[in-house]
């Protein structure tokens, strides 16, 4: 699927009617969601044929993007039943299957190494201090390969440090900075895990990160500067 097609499908999804401020329910826009998952798939192979979990899935945008990119099994987790209902309607509209679970992220108790990839747009922790770190900590425990997460620019260094020091991430890279949306896309890769299968992957990945950063940089009109480059299959 082309990036534009993915973005357009996600753009039609139903979003929150009445966002709950205490849960920091800001929607994940189709623009960033499509690029996040497209990069995860086309640069890192973390989506198709994988088991993907969407933490704090809200209306399901990220998880549904994963299903559209042929993830084999996608599970959205959210605490709020109104959100889960919208996510369920969105999945039906797209005619895809997305499993949903109502649970608090810090109370998840998942067995085994079944989940490959976690994608999430967690609360920034502006309402409940540390909520973003709780999400990260659990995500890095559950994912056997990678966590893709959106964070506020000002928490960037703190999050990188904590991921490496406290949560056993083997690397933490900023792969995309979207100034307009004050979001930063961080990528955590469990290199130990990946290196068992792809011995030369570490170095290759570092190069890709730099390149991706340039490719996804936005200008002031929120347009991608080098959009055509994203279709390049690397």
Partner 1 sequence: MRLLTHNMLSSNIKGVINGFPLRIEVEKVIEKQVDFNPDFLKNMFSKIDWKALADASKIMGYAELPEEVPDASVLDSDEFLQKFHHALLELHLEEGALVCPETGRRFPVNKGIPNMLLHEDEV
Kindly determine how many residues on this chain lie close enough to bind partner 1 according to the rule CB under 8 A.
24
Determine which residue in the list 3, 79, 180, 193 makes contact with partner 1, applying CB under 8 A.
79
Spatial separation of the C-alpha atoms in residues 185 and 205, rounded to whole Å: 16
Spatial separation of the C-alpha atoms in residues 220 and 196, rounded to whole Å: 42
Asked if 34 contacts 3 with a C-beta cutoff of 8 angstroms, the reply is: yes
**Structural element, H or E, at residue 173:** strand 171-178
The reply to whether 49 sits near partner 1 by the rule CB under 8 A is: yes
Instruction: Quote the tokens at residue 148.
Output: 């893709």
The reply to whether 114 sits near partner 1 by the rule CB under 8 A is: yes
Nearer to partner 1, 73 or 156 (CB): 73
The partner residues of 54 in beta bridges, in order of sequence, read 76, 119
Nearer to partner 1, 97 or 231 (CB): 97
Helix axis angle, 61-68 to 3-11, nearest 10°: 140
Nearest distance from C-beta of residue 114 to partner 1, angstroms: 5
Asked if 34 contacts 227 with a C-beta cutoff of 8 angstroms, the reply is: no
The reply to whether 224 sits near partner 1 by the rule CB under 8 A is: no
The reply to whether 168 sits near partner 1 by the rule CB under 8 A is: no
The reply to whether 84 sits near partner 1 by the rule CB under 8 A is: yes
The reply to whether 75 sits near partner 1 by the rule CB under 8 A is: yes
Spatial separation of the C-alpha atoms in residues 206 and 202, rounded to whole Å: 6
The reply to whether 20 sits near partner 1 by the rule CB under 8 A is: no
Nearer to partner 1, 61 or 212 (CB): 61
Determine which residue in the list 14, 82, 108, 153 makes contact with partner 1, applying CB under 8 A.
108
User: How is residue 105 annotated by DSSP?
Assistant: G
Phi/psi of residue 76, nearest 5 degrees: -100, 135
SS3 220: coil
Nearer to partner 1, 26 or 110 (CB): 110
Question: What DSSP line would sit under 204-218, residue for residue?
Answer: HHHHHHHHHHHHT-B
Nearer to partner 1, 112 or 203 (CB): 112
Nearest distance from C-beta of residue 136 to partner 1, angstroms: 19
The reply to whether 196 sits near partner 1 by the rule CB under 8 A is: no
Binding site for partner 1 (CB under 8 A): 49, 51, 72-73, 75, 79, 84, 88, 97, 99-104, 107-115
């Amino acid at each position: 699927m082309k990036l534009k097609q993915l973005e357009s499908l996600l753009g039609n999804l139903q979003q929150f009617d009445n966002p709950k401020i205490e849960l920091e329910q800001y929607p994940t826009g189709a623009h960033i969601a499509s690029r996040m998952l497209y990069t995860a798939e086309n640069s890192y192979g973390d989506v198709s044929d994988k088991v993907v979990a969407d933490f704090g899935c809200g209306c399901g945008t990220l998880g549904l993007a994963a299903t559209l990119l042929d993830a084999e099994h996608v599970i959205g987790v959210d605490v709020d039943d109104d959100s889960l209902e919208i996510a369920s309607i969105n999945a039906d509209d797209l005619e895809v299957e997305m499993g949903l679970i109502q649970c608090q992220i810090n109370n998840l108790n998942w067995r085994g190494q079944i989940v490959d990839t976690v994608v999430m747009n967690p609360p920034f922790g502006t309402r409940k201090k540390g909520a973003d770190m709780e999400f990260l900590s659990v995500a890095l425990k559950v994912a056997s390969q990678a966590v893709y997460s959106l964070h506020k620019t000002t928490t960037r260094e703190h999050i990188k440090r904590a991921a490496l020091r406290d949560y056993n991430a083997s690397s933490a890279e900023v792969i995309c900075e979207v100034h307009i949306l004050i979001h930063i896309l961080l990528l955590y890769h469990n290199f130990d895990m990946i290196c068992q299968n792809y011995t030369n992957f570490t170095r290759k990945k570092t190069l890709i990160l730099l390149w991706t950063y340039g490719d996804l940089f936005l200008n002031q009109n929120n347009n991608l500067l080098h959009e055509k480059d994203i279709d390049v299959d690397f």
